[in-house]
């Protein structure tokens, strides 16, 4: 069985074709700058064939069509024909309260997704576009939606409600939803396997530190709390997002700087975070280099980022009452040695101590806690595409089983 995983952003798409027999990636790549004068398509196969195309790609329809053609190319393709794709798994950012698990997509689901656009105006329209194009180009292939918010639907009400007028929740859907759910689910389940313990017995804190960053407390496989909220703007300091903020700043600065809603939204989402503080970059590699070269604001940005993660770990430890496993994942969590070191320093009161030699590594699955540490600390590279492919396969298999059950009676 082959699953095609699609992750559509507003001007980009990432894709992977996964063979579910051995869970190996047959081909993968991305298309960037869709709709601009020059777009980039990248394609790489398991057999190390690689293609880069630079030309105008007008829309997602054309982008997906090109990827499907390349996958079937006589010379460097990996498919005889499109029917070899058994399922398409789509990453969908916001499932709202309606979707607490992955779903087989039909007209009803698309309608519900469209209703959720107001909750994720930056992400859901592109996800829906990917689904619609896929249904058009592969009408006989089932599509499954896998939601970033789904894992967090296990959160209790006392965690997901904001202290605002209750009718904002009832009438407008204002609550914490949380994001990066597929990643938190994957690394926490993987962590339990690595410890050789039952997932249901564990209390876990999972730090997904990428350009977008979030942290989740998990108990017995359920989310107890997570740092992102109604939108991905909440919680940790990120590449370009502010994270937690005194909301009083918003009306104050709007008046002071004569800004409108769109401008403040843009500033908090795209011009804040470590970019806003450092003035250097949103990329931790650039900020790290600048800090080492003596740039004070770059160093400050790193300090503020790490301090926020530390605060969350402390507060989640208090909520959980005990921590068995602390996980670092995503671009920064997997690669930024100094960031992991800074976050975990002086945390012996929580039983957290890392071994600096073990921590001196990038991008691998490894235990980095010291022998004295009460909490196991691991780096676990995330694999959201694999979770999407597995979920998509399970949803379709369950659907087929149900049909057979109904037929047999
Ligand atoms: P997203 O999926 O949210 O775009 P990623 O998980 O891909 O983010 O993480 C991207 C970030 O990871 C980069 O912006 C960069 O800050 C950080 N990163 C990647 N490699 C390294 C590295 N070797 N050292 C430090 N930071 C890194």
pLDDT at 9 over 90: no
Alpha helices in 282-408 (DSSP H): 284-292, 296-320, 330-335, 337-344, 356-359, 384-408
**Structure confidence by residue, pLDDT tens digits, 75-126:** 999 999 999 999 999 999 999 888 989 999 999 999 999 988 988 888 889 9
Q: Per the annotation, does 75 bind a ligand? A: no
**Structure confidence by residue, pLDDT tens digits, 279-316:** 999 999 999 999 999 999 999 999 999 999 999 999 99
Q: Per the annotation, does 283 bind a ligand? A: yes
> 112: burial class by Cβ within 10 Å (0-12, 13-18, 19+)?
middle
DSSP string, 200-254: GG-EEEEEEESSSEEEEEEETTEEEEES--SSTTSSS--SS---S--TTHHHHHH
Please give the share of the chain, as a percent, with pLDDT higher than 90: 93
Please give the share of the chain, as a percent, with pLDDT higher than 70: 100
Q: Where are the domains of the chain?
A: 2-153, 198-384
pLDDT, position 121 = 85
Does 148 participate in catalysis according to the annotation? yes
Could you check whether 2-153 and 198-384 share the same CATH topology? yes
Cα-based distances in Å from 350 to 227, 233, 325, 353, 393: 20, 28, 12, 9, 40
- Rounded to 5 degrees, what angle do the CA atoms 9, 186, 46 make? 65
Residue owning the nearest CA to atom 7 of ligand 1: 331
215 within 8 A of 152, measured Cβ to Cβ: no
Superfamily of domain 198-384: ATPase, nucleotide binding domain (3.30.420.40)
Banded model confidence at residue 409, pLDDT cuts 50, 70, 90: confident
CA 182 to ligand 1 centroid distance, Å: 18
Ligand 1 atom with minimal separation from the 209 CA:
6
**Structure confidence by residue, pLDDT tens digits, 320-371:** 999 999 999 999 999 999 999 999 999 999 999 999 999 999 999 999 999 9
Cα-based distances in Å from 293 to 170, 286, 335: 51, 11, 20
pLDDT, position 273 = 98
Ligand 1 atom with minimal separation from the 330 CA:
6
Q: Per the annotation, does 334 bind a ligand? A: yes
Residue owning the nearest CA to atom 12 of ligand 1: 331
CATH 3.30.420.40 for domain 2-153, yes or no, is: yes
Residue owning the nearest CA to atom 23 of ligand 1: 335
211, 269, 280, 385: residue to mutate for ligand 1 pocket, most atoms within 8 A of CB = 211
CA 401 to ligand 1 centroid distance, Å: 41
| Residues at CB less than 6 angstroms from ligand 1 | 210-212, 239, 283-285, 330-332, 335-336, 362
CA 368 to ligand 1 centroid distance, Å: 19
189 within 8 A of 245, measured Cβ to Cβ: no
Banded model confidence at residue 245, pLDDT cuts 50, 70, 90: very high
Q: Per the annotation, does 41 bind a ligand? A: no
Q: Which residues pair with 24 in a beta bridge?
A: 19
* Catalytic choice (83, 106, 148, 348): 148
pLDDT at 29 over 80: yes
């Amino acid at each position: 069985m082959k699953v095609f995983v699609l992750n559509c952003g507003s001007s980009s798409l990432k894709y992977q074709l996964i063979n579910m027999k051995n869970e190996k990636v047959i081909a993968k790549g991305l298309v960037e700058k869709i709709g601009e004068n020059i777009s980039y398509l990248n394609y790489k196969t398991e057999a190390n064939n690689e293609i880069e195309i630079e030309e105008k790609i007008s829309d997602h329809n054309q982008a997906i069509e090109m990827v499907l053609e390349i996958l079937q190319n006589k010379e460097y393709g990996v498919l005889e024909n499109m029917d070899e794709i058994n399922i398409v798994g789509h990453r969908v950012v916001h499932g709202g309260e309606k979707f607490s698990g992955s779903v087989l997509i039909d007209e009803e689901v698309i309608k519900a997704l469209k209703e959720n656009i107001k909750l994720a105006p930056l992400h859901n329209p592109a996800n829906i576009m990917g689904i619609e194009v896929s249904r058009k180009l592969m009408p006989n292939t089932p599509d499954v939606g896998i939601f970033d918010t789904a894992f967090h639907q296990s959160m209790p009400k006392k965690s997901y409600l904001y202290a605002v007028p209750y009718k904002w929740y009832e009438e407008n859907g204002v609550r914490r939803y949380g994001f990066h759910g597929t990643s938190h689910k994957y690394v926490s389940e993987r962590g339990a396997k690595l410890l050789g313990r039952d997932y249901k017995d564990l209390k876990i804190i999972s730090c997904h530190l990428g350009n977008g960053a979030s942290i989740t407390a998990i108990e017995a496989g359920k989310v107890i709390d997570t740092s992102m909220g109604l939108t991905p703007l909440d919680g940790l300091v990120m590449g370009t997002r502010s994270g937690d903020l005194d909301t009083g700043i918003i009306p104050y600065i709007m008046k002071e700087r004569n800004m409108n809603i769109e401008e403040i939204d843009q500033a908090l989402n795209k011009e804040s975070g470590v970019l806003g503080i450092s003035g250097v970059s949103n990329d931790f590699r650039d900020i790290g280099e600048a800090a080492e070269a003596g740039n004070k604001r770059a160093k400050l940005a790193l300090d503020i980022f790490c301090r926020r993660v530390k605060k969350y770990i402390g507060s989640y430890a208090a909520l959980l009452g005990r921590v068995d496993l602390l996980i670092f994942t995503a671009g920064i969590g997997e690669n930024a040695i100094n960031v992991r070191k800074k976050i975990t320093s002086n945390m012996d009161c929580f039983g957290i101590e890392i071994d600096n030699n073990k921590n001196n590594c990038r991008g691998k699955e490894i235990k980095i806690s010291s022998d004295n540490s009460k909490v196991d600390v691991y780096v676990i590279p995330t694999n959201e595409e694999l979770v999407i492919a597995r979920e998509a396969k399970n949803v379709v298999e369950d659907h087929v089983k149900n049909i057979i059950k109904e037929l047999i009676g």
